[in-house]
Amino acid sequence: MKIARFSRVGFILAAAGSAVGLGNIWKFPYITGEYGGGAFVFVYLLTVLLIGFSIMIAEMLIGYIGRKDAVSSFENIAPTHKHLWKYGGFQSLAGLFVMIFYSVVIGWIFHYIVTSLSSLPSSVQEAETTFNAMIHTDIATQLFYHSLAFIWITYVLTKGIKGGIEKMNMFLMPALMIILAGMFIYALSLDAFPKAVNFMFAADWSKINSEAFVVAVGHAFFTLSLGMGAIMTYAASMEKNSNIVKAAFWVVFLDTIIAIVAGLMLFTFLYQYGAGPAKGPGLVFISLPAAFYEMGILGNIFAVLFFIALAFAGLTSSVSLVEPMVQYFIDRFSWSRFKSSILMGLFFYLIGIIALLSNIDGYQELLTWGDKNFFDWVDYVTSAIMLPIGGLIMAVFVGFILDKRKVESLMKPQLGFAFETWYFSLRYITPIAMFVVMLNLIGIF
């Protein structure tokens, strides 16, 4: 079956949309402050260049050469043992599993868009009480917005590469950047902006240790949406004679810039209005709404715009998480796009309801094993095992399995003198880094 092709701009926006997700908005700023500010930014950018950028080029290369779903691409271009290497493409399952809880979180964001129109919590304590009540007791609200996320994502997938995915990203990605840029410009005028800059960029080298390096490697990898077949599947639809290196550069650049701009804007508001930073969901759903309340009616406007931007980031990433498995069933079993999209959507939607219920009082104990409930287990298994394995497979495949002469003939004209550095990083630095990250996340290292 012929695959529709992205335009050059469409591919960059779609791939950037895949990379720019919820983690860019709150996780990057927080871990930057926690691990030494500017010192961590330096380490992070270094890992993005040597590891994240290297894997992104490798993943794009596999998809660009293979021109099929991830499984078929590995199978088609593997020089030997094709029947074994095709299983490398099943890293696409990671994205589908991530969607089990990701869709629930997008539902929370939809809910906050609506509530921000009328009321905001007057304090951090009230915001925390409201958020906890929603995730632990309010099944109906979460189910409604989880269903809306499922409908939106599945509809876009049914429309295909050009009519759905590219069209959505051509609108949502510029809209996301405009919203963040507007809020950032306002943040520049506030007295707390220098404090936010200091929080994120003042270098504290005493906090740079082995754990900081592992965190930097892990975040550089995960924030670029690597190891789950998304970038590979999108690259299969690149125009012929596309420049893989330039495309990868723009995706990495946009991903990093959006994270930095969002972080500076976010923490300016938090410091200006006395809410203070908080980790994880607390930053977005607890501290920030309380800060917006202090702005008066302007706070309601900013809250709505911010959660719309956050929803856009989540939706563009979500479509890319499901598309690899949609394309797999189209290519391997000749399913229609509509059938494949509906069934993959129902998969994450129905199991997502179980993830949703695992946070609800009365169901939590039943859906908890060990120290994690079902929601947390899905998050943990995908981030600690499935994604690092996906990255490791791609690095080994391009670095050791593909004929170097073939790789060199395609990539040296684009990389120039940097080819050997990239190839060395892919063969030695990246596999070791991915292995260490995986050991760290599962608690061995």
- Model confidence over 264-282: pLDDT tens digits? 998 898 888 876 666 566 6
CA distance 249 to 12: 9
Is 69 a member of any domain?
yes
DSSP 383: I
Is 3 a member of any domain?
no
Is 1 a member of any domain?
no
User: Is residue 233 within 8 Å of residue 63, measured between CB atoms?
Assistant: yes
Give Cα separations from 141 to 110, 145, 353, 378 (angstroms). 10, 6, 12, 22
Is 402 a member of any domain?
yes
Is 148 a member of any domain?
yes
**Of 406, 342, 378, 390, which is closest to residue 233 (Cα–Cα)?**
390
Q: Tens digit of pLDDT for each residue in 346-390?
A: 999 999 999 999 999 999 999 999 999 999 999 888 887 888 888
CATH number at residue 310: 1.20.1740
* Model confidence at 283: pLDDT above 50: yes
Q: Domain span at residue 407? A: 8-441
Confidence of residue 3 (pLDDT cuts 50, 70, 90): low
Q: Return the higher-pLDDT residue of 16 and 133.
A: 133
Share of the chain above pLDDT 70, in %: 96
Prediction pTM value: 0.90
Q: Tens digit of pLDDT for each residue in 313-354?
A: 889 889 999 999 999 999 999 999 999 999 999 999 999 999
* Number of compact structural domains in the chain: 1
Q: Return the higher-pLDDT residue of 222 and 92.
A: 92
CA distance 57 to 199: 32
